[in-house]
Amino acid sequence: MVGLGNGVVAISVGQIHTCAVVGESARCWGGNAYGQLGNGTFDGSPVPITVSGLNNGVSAIASGALHACAVVDGGVKCWGDNSLGQLGDGTFVGSNVPVTALSPGSGIYDVTAGSDFTCATGTAEAKTWCWGNGMFGKLANGKLGYEAVPVEVSIFGNGFEAAAP
């Protein structure tokens, strides 16, 4: 593929965009009506472009329907549609550049995205956080509704014992 070169570590597909980790940078391409390419514009791109400010330290990436998130230096940054809180920055306002959901150094090693929500897993006591559309119990935090900031998932690390190895 034009623009990716060698070193693709991960790839994730959204509704009308695709993102990849190349080396330690995040690159996205496709539709960009909600800023899901993260380059500060709303213009689509048929070739991969580097997400603003994510030139290094990226280790994982996830694409929702119209948003994307990346693990950056042990934290999570997200961009794109945020109408249901799926960016995790405490607002319901979209962003065409990455915003912080979980601060660098939080021990996050993986991120995943549903169509309108996001979850991240960290090494600290194997905790998991989710945010965005929590209708139907998708966030596993014991509530139905929307969470604009990461909330710890109830079934992991909140009173439930982990199975012995």
At 3-59, the pLDDT tens digits run 677 789 999 999 999 999 999 999 999 999 999 999 999 999 999 999 999 999 999
Q: Write the CATH number for 72.
A: 2.130.10.30
Q: How many domains does the chain have?
A: 1
DSSP per residue over 95-123, as a string?
A: EEEEEEEE-TTS-EEEEEE-SSEEEEEES
Q: Nearest 5°: phi and psi at 126?
A: 50, 45
- Does 107 reside within a domain? yes
What is the rounded CA–CA span in Å between residue 41 and residue 34?
9
> What is the mean predicted confidence (pLDDT) over 126-130?
87
Q: What is the pLDDT of residue 154?
A: 63
Q: Is residue 69 part of a domain?
A: yes
What pLDDT is recorded for position 165? 38
Residue 46 lies in a domain: yes
Is 163 part of any domain? no
pLDDT (tens digit per residue) in 68-80: 999 999 999 999 9
Query: Does the structure show a pLDDT above 50 at 159?
Result: no
Q: Quick check: pTM over 0.85?
A: yes
Domain range enclosing 78: 8-114
pLDDT value of residue 17? 98
93 in any annotated domain = yes
The answer to whether position 28 is within a domain reads: yes
The tens digit of pLDDT for each residue in 96-117 reads 999 999 999 999 999 999 999 9
* pLDDT exceeds cutoff 70 at 148: yes
Q: What are phi and psi of 113, to 5 degrees?
A: -135, 135
Q: For residue 4, what pLDDT is reported?
A: 76
Kindly state the helix (H) or strand (E) to which residue 12 belongs, with its residue range: strand 8-13
In a domain, 40, yes or no: yes
pLDDT higher than threshold 50 for residue 94:
yes
Residue 140 lies in a domain: no
Report residue 134's pLDDT band, with 50, 70 and 90 as the boundaries: confident
Query: Would you state the pLDDT for residue 125?
Result: 67
